[in-house]
Amino acid sequence: MEGGIGEVDHLAGERATALFDVDRMKVAWAGSRHAVDVADRMARLVASDPVFRKDNRTMLPRTELFKDTLKKAAHAWKRIVELRLTEEEANLLRLYVDQPGYVDLHWGMFVPAIKGQGTEEQQKKWLPLGLQGLETTATFDPKTDEFVIHSPTLTSSKWWPGGLGKASTHAVVYARLITEGKDYGIHGFIVQLRSLEDHNPLPGVTLGDIGGKFGSGAYNSMDNGVLRFDHVRIPRDQMLMRLSQVTKEGKYVHSDVPKQLLYGTMVYVRQAIVADASKALSRAVCIAVRFVGEWLKWLYTDVTHKLEAKDFSTLQEAHACTAGLKAVTTSVTSDAIEECRKLCGGHGYLNSSGLPELFAVYVPACTYEGDNVVLLLQVARFLMKTVSQLASGKQPVGTTAYMGNIQYLLQCTCGVTTAEDWLNPAAIKEVFEARALRMAVNCAQNISKAPSQEEGFYELSPDLLEVAAAHIQMIIVTKFIEKLEQDIPGEGVKAQLRNLCNVYALHLLHKHLGDFLATGCITAKQGALANQQLGMLYALVRPNAVALVDAFNYTDHYLGSGLGRYDGDVYPALYEEAWKDPLNRTVVPDGYHDLPPPAAQAAAQPLVQALIDFLL
């Protein structure tokens, strides 16, 4: 769907080659003609409204971004009322406004169908997570017919709920119910957090935003919050009493609703997430497809030809080696940084973990100094050339010298018969060499079947990338093994490095098992033994993990991470960082009192918000 109608269509040629009816495909994606039409209408409504502009979003300081979120929420509400939009239309309008915010929950209260099931919905969302370690208590006081809500420690603070930091006025708080001196486990309570008059937190309630998150714009428009209670009193009837009740006298009574029912419906939330995935992915694909196709082809052939023209044989090997190592190490590194970030759970998404910035500052290395895909294709071309010259007796040099051993490597069989045999460096080295060479030879044969060499290179690009990666992995594994042949002083130091080397090699072997099996370098049984050995090596590395990273010798300043602190004292660090966020400079956020009447009215409604002790 075109947005601004320009005079050019650089993609017209691409569109002309399509072999199908695009309009009917839209129906197929969306599910029905109606779905296409209503989405279309809402998308255009949002796109044409200047209040919903988002091109400046990543440039706004966080306080301004939040103000912008408030303004958009108010305006969206105004449009929904003015145009008498249906629930379906209103939901789509929110989708296309495309800015996460407290209003995602807020509006839920004003759309009738959601309103009816609000509390149950939120239980579905939050119950499955973090059910243990909950330290907040709700102690019944029969003298005043009230519960006393209290978070005794820093780690009992609520952390993460969206909309809590600056916007929510009420919350459903999960706490351990204590009555007649007995702990009855976790129950929900509706607690008012802020004044409906001046929006200030009520006495005993500590509230704030948890700080900036991954990216510019992105989820920074959401005020994920931190909350702590100091003996806050609420009336008895604010306990959620569908499953069990507390009487005026303090007696705990079960209802006959089966508890498990509450769990079943989380299925719904997960299903919604699965559906959303396709939206985010299709957006990215849409951007990449419209930009990349022709450009990448040009870039690749051009750069390759330029470099191929210079045929200095050792220089070429050095080029292929460094280009390939650059591509493999930068890709592996950026993927692994992101893997580490995700392993840190929700907290890895906070800027104060240091990981979002580390990823963002590192990842351009995959592109600069030669795009990794282009570089690997160059390496593969060099390998194809090297293979083709083997027949004429030309001896390969440097890191391709192993290819000279072609007769042996094409027919050798791996001698491993026990898991322990996989600790033999010579066995590892040989299978990595055999795999790399056999893949290169197979690929060269397939290219020779194509009508022309250029067509062969183009069609077999995906295979060529794998050939190059196999070669580079062989280099890294071999160099690691060679390093371990040297003397490395210090008690246990060499043993640890040997474990890491074996973990690395066997991890690669398992990850690319298909390569090793398909080329007949190892048998399925040997593959299973390698994986078994890998499991044993993990168990050896685990007790040394913290000490191994200590040996990187990084200061806390350099790591710049609340999670990676030397002393492991994570929570006070995160807590302290959160309060530094500019959004926490004022209690009532800038722009809150400027909301126009209809939205202001909406905002004054109790914003019921489900909370849990996330991870704590």
Residues annotated catalytic, as ranges = 369
| Phi, psi (rounded to 5 degrees) for 292 | -85, -45
Contact (CB, 8 A) for 57 and 217: yes
Among 336, 341, 471, smallest CA distance to 403 is for: 471
Which of 56/195 has CB closer to its own copies?
Answer: 56
Q: Where are the alpha helices (DSSP H) in 218-367?
A: 261-264, 266-309, 313-343, 355-362
Q: Which is nearer to its own copies, 334 or 609 (CB)?
A: 334
Q: Which helix (H) or strand (E) holds 158?
A: strand 158-159
In the complex with its own copies, which residue's Cβ is closer, 582 or 606?
582
CB of 196 to its own copies, least distance (A): 29
Closest CB to its own copies among residues 113, 545: 545
Nearest CA among 94, 101, 158 for reference residue 126: 158
* CA–CA distance, 556 with 565 (Å, rounded to integer): 6
Q: Cα–Cα distance between 282 and 421 in angstroms, integer?
A: 47
| Shortest CB 250 distance to its own copies, Å | 28
Amino acid at 603: A
Q: Measured from the CB of residue 611, what is the shortest distance to its own copies in angstroms?
A: 14
CB of 339 to its own copies, least distance (A): 8
Of the pair 361, 401, the CB lying nearest its own copies is at 361
CA distance 353 to 599: 35
C-beta of 202: minimal distance to its own copies in Å? 28
For its own copies, the closer of residues 203 and 264 by Cβ is 264
SS (H, E, C) 377-431: HHHHHHHHHHHHHHCCCCCCCHHHHHHHHHHHHHHCCCCCCCHHHHHCHHHHHHH
Backbone angles phi, psi at 573, to 5 degrees: -65, -45
Tell me which amino acid residue 101 is: G
Amino acid identity of 463?
D
Q: How far is the CB of 575 from its own copies (least distance, A)?
A: 13
Q: Which is nearer to its own copies, 44 or 242 (CB)?
A: 44
Asked if 220 and 99 count as a contact pair (C-beta separation under 8 A), the reply is no
Alpha-carbon gap, residue 241 to 32, rounded angstroms = 42
377 to 53, 267, 328, 464: CA distances (angstroms)? 41, 44, 12, 6
Q: How far is the CB of 110 from its own copies (least distance, A)?
A: 23
